[in-house]
């Protein structure tokens, strides 16, 4: 880990640490400027559109204590750097291809625009990855991304989606830490691409497409998104239900995710529905384009609008994304015009249909999966009533759980990870017990250092990849966080 004595300060790196805290209340997010960001720049006329599709690329590499041979002293580095330094292990020989995947949208968009085409893409980069690229000195990648993010001739084509800085899955993240990840990503992004670019970030992409369905956790999550200025969130279709418990039937139209806590309080946010499960071929081979070609305009809230097929996939992971995506994306965009079936980004679509007369309050209300089973069995209010209703539902509703929904139904992000979750939860609890309600300099090196440990410890990779060195990485990060908490506060 860099220290104040050994590292130089830059805008996006402060004493060797990512610029992730200290300015949260001053950031001009999408919530502080509600004016449309794409409506006045789009080259698409909604009246000429039959249907549309939106594609997002998710990019992530975890931060690991692997910058040295001794786990207890090894520096925190990005996994991409580890791949470059250990090319003989596993598929690490693909490190160069992975790096190109992180920058190639910065090449594709200018190329397509120069050809007179109208490309669109949404980008979701974890804070871990962005910091890892900085640590490696890969300003070439960040500069290419900055060009398509900030240059007026390209920025209408590229929409960034916010996310959890440390790629934390919400159901297995202490609720008090959810806003920390959200705000940290916003500040880090602004330090890299500017505050004007941050104001254009209106949508949110959850790590692992995970949506918590415990009422209080879901409420805390949506509340944190709204308070951070986000206007919509991408949701996996089988992680939600209609308010009567039935499955959603119009996934290509916007919905309104309603979160209700155990005290009966509600908060809501617009949701765009990602269809199908986790299969990168859906994006690499432009399946959303094929699906959009089968759809036509629909009447919705008294207005005739085109539907939107929404899809996200890993931007670099697997042969199909490394090898097939470039031809699929470039060929798909080159075959499109500005009428009929078109490519749009999420916020652009929402702004276009709102200008046509569809308001957010018109969107179809939905809730996290299995919540109807709870609400229909509730007697009174409060956490005890929720737990009692959930216990009743457990014995009556097939496959009932409150572990949340993700891109796959085969993985729980809560059960079976005690070896990681116990030290992670203790680190968080000790932090909040020691510092909550006290005057803390959130722009200090000590706070930034600890926050980094906290968020890195909650990265989903440490659970997804199971026991072994990934678990050891997580425990070591938690150990360092606990030591920093004792020493610096």
Give, in order, the Cα–Cα distances in Å from 399 to each of 371, 378, 384, 393. Answer: 13, 19, 22, 10
**Which CATH number fits the domain 20-367, given the four candidates 3.40.190.10, 3.30.465.10, 3.20.110.20, 3.20.20.450?**
3.20.110.20
* pLDDT tier for residue 315 given thresholds of 50, 70 and 90: confident
* pLDDT tier for residue 408 given thresholds of 50, 70 and 90: low
Q: How many whole angstroms separate alpha carbon 221 and alpha carbon 150?
A: 29
Ranking 120-129, 222-231, 234-243, 420-429 by mean pLDDT, the lowest is: 420-429
pLDDT above 80: residue 411: no
Segment (H or E) for 311 = strand 308-314
* pLDDT tier for residue 405 given thresholds of 50, 70 and 90: low
Helix (H/G/I), strand (E/B), else coil: 454: helix
Are 54 and 122 in contact, with CB atoms under 8 Å apart?
Answer: yes
**In this predicted model, what pLDDT tens digit does every residue of 449-488 receive, in sequence order?**
999 999 999 998 886 655 678 889 999 999 999 999 999 9
Q: With pLDDT > 90 as the criterion, what percentage of the chain qualifies? A: 81
pLDDT above 80: residue 407: no
**In this predicted model, what pLDDT tens digit does every residue of 113-160 receive, in sequence order?**
999 999 999 999 999 999 999 999 999 999 999 999 999 999 999 999
* pLDDT tier for residue 414 given thresholds of 50, 70 and 90: low
* pLDDT tier for residue 403 given thresholds of 50, 70 and 90: confident
Half-sphere exposure of 403 (CA within 13 A, CB side): 15
Average pLDDT of the residues in 40-46? 97
Structure confidence at residue 90 (pLDDT): 86
b/e map 126-146, b = 16+ CB within 10 Å: bbbbbbbbbbeebeebbebbb
* pLDDT tier for residue 391 given thresholds of 50, 70 and 90: very high
Q: Who wins on pLDDT, 468 or 161?
A: 161
The single-letter DSSP state of residue 248 is P
Structure confidence at residue 9 (pLDDT): 43
Structure confidence at residue 406 (pLDDT): 55
| CB atoms inside a 10 Å sphere around CB 39 | 14
Structure confidence at residue 84 (pLDDT): 96
* pLDDT tier for residue 357 given thresholds of 50, 70 and 90: very high
pLDDT above 90: residue 413: no
Helix (H/G/I), strand (E/B), else coil: 488: helix
pLDDT above 80: residue 103: yes
Average pLDDT of the residues in 223-251? 96
Average pLDDT of the residues in 308-324? 88
Tokens 């916007």 belong to residue? 254
- DSSP letters along 6-60, please? T----SSEETTEE--SS-GGG---TTT--S-SSTTT----GGGEEEEEEEEEEE-
Task: State the sign of the Cα–Cα–Cα–Cα dihedral 39, 44, 45, 48.
Answer: negative
pLDDT above 80: residue 339: yes
Average pLDDT of the residues in 436-461? 94
Average pLDDT of the residues in 421-429? 91
Helix (H/G/I), strand (E/B), else coil: 190: helix
Structure confidence at residue 420 (pLDDT): 78
Where do the structural domains in the chain lie, given as residue ranges? Answer: 20-367, 416-489
pTM: 0.94
Structure tokens at 331: 């060929």
**In this predicted model, what pLDDT tens digit does every residue of 238-296 receive, in sequence order?**
999 999 999 999 999 999 999 999 999 999 999 999 998 667 788 888 999 999 999 99
**Main-chain dihedrals φ then ψ at residue 67, nearest 5 degrees:** -85, 55
Q: With pLDDT > 70 as the criterion, what percentage of the chain qualifies? A: 93
As a whole number, the mean pLDDT across the chain is: 92
The single-letter DSSP state of residue 322 is I
Structure confidence at residue 2 (pLDDT): 41
């Amino acid at each position: 880990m860099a220290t104040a004595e050994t590292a130089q300060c830059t805008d996006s790196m402060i004493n060797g640490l990512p610029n992730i805290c200290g300015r949260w209340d001053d950031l001009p997010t999408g919530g502080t400027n509600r004016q449309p960001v794409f409506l006045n720049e789009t080259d698409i006329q909604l009246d000429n559109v039959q249907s549309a599709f939106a594609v997002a690329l998710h990019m992530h590499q975890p931060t690991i204590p692997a910058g040295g041979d001794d786990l207890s002293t090894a520096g925190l580095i990005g996994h991409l750097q580890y791949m470059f330094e250990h090319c003989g292990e596993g598929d690490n020989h693909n490190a160069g291809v992975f790096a190109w995947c992180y920058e190639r949208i910065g090449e594709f968009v200018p190329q397509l625009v120069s050809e007179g085409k109208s490309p669109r893409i949404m980008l979701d980069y974890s804070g871990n990855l962005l910091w890892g690229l900085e640590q490696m000195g890969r300003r070439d990648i960040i500069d290419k991304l900055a060009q398509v993010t900030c240059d007026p001739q390209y920025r209408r084509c590229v929409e960034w989606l916010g996310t959890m800085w440390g790629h934390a899955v919400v159901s297995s993240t202490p609720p008090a830490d959810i806003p920390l990840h959200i705000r940290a990503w916003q500040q880090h992004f602004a330090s890299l691409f500017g505050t004007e670019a941050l104001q254009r970030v209106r949508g949110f992409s959850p790590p692992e497409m995970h949506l918590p369905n415990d009422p209080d956790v879901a409420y805390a999550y949506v509340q944190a998104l709204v308070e951070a200025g986000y206007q919509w969130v991408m949701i996996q279709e089988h992680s939600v239900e209609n308010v009567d418990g039935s499955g959603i039937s119009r996934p290509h139209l916007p919905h309104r995710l309603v979160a209700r806590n155990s005290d009966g309080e509600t908060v809501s946010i617009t949701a765009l529905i990602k269809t199908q499960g986790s299969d990168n071929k859906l994006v690499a081979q432009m399946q959303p384009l094929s699906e959009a070609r089968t759809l036509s305009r629909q009447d919705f809230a008294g207005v005739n609008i085109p539907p939107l097929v929404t899809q996200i996939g890993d931007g670099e992971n697997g042969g199909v994304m490394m090898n097939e995506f470039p031809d699929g994306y470039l060929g798909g965009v080159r075959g499109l015009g500005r009428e009929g079936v078109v490519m749009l980004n999420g916020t652009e679509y929402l702004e276009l249909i709102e200008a046509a007369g569809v308001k957010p309050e018109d969107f179809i209300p939905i809730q996290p999966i299995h919540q109807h089973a709870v609400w229909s069995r509730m007697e009174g209010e409060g956490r005890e009533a929720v737990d009692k209703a959930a216990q009743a539902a457990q014995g009556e509703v097939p496959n009932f759980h409150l572990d949340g929904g993700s891109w796959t139904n085969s993985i729980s992000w809560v059960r079976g990870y005690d070896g990681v979750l116990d030290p992670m939860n203790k680190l968080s609890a000790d932090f909040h017990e020691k510092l909550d309600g006290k005057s803390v300099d959130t722009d200090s090196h000590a706070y930034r250092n600890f926050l980094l440990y906290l968020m890195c410890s909650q990265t989903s990779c440490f659970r997804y990849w199971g026991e072994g060195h990934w678990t050891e990485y997580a425990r070591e990060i938690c150990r360092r966080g606990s030591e920093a908490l004792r020493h610096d506060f």
